[in-house]
Amino acid sequence: MANGKTKQARASVKYVRMSPRKVRLVLDLIRGKHVEEARRILKFTPKAAATDIAKVLDAAVANAEHSLRVPADTLFVTGAYADGGPTLKRFMPRAQGRATQIRKRTCHIHLTVEPRE
């Protein structure tokens, strides 16, 4: 933490087949929490996004332990956000020979953890 810079470890996953809005609902639950508390929240959250976010959280913690050499019990989730990815466009047949567009959204999930005393 010399020169005012903080140690951070990041992890991300891209092209998750889930809408960013649904993922953000779960990310809002863990932002700013201790890593162990975030894991407990994700374990008992009945949303499909919780499993993908738990994997990204584990990857971020592993990155912090390996590259920053900090123990996992000092880590907090400081950044958690989901960006929109490319949208798959499909068509569904409707009445009277028409068709409507179905948008299958994807997202990119990013997590940042850093140690605090």
SS3 of residue 101 by DSSP: strand
| Domains of the chain listed by start with CATH number | 7-115 (3.90.470.10)
Q: Say what the pLDDT of residue 79 is.
A: 94
Each residue of 62-117: pLDDT tens digit? 999 999 999 989 999 999 999 999 999 999 999 999 999 999 999 999 999 999 87
Does residue 16 sit in helix, strand or coil?
Answer: strand
The pTM is what? 0.88
Dihedrals phi, psi of 29, to nearest 5 degrees: -75, -30
* pLDDT, averaged across the chain: 93
- Determine the Cα–Cα distance for residues 20 and 81; give it in Å rounded to an integer: 9
Give pLDDT tens digits for 30-74. Answer: 999 999 999 999 999 999 999 999 999 999 999 999 999 999 899
pLDDT of residue 117: 72
Helix (H) or strand (E) holding 92: strand 88-93
How far is 67 from 62, CA to CA, in rounded Å? 8
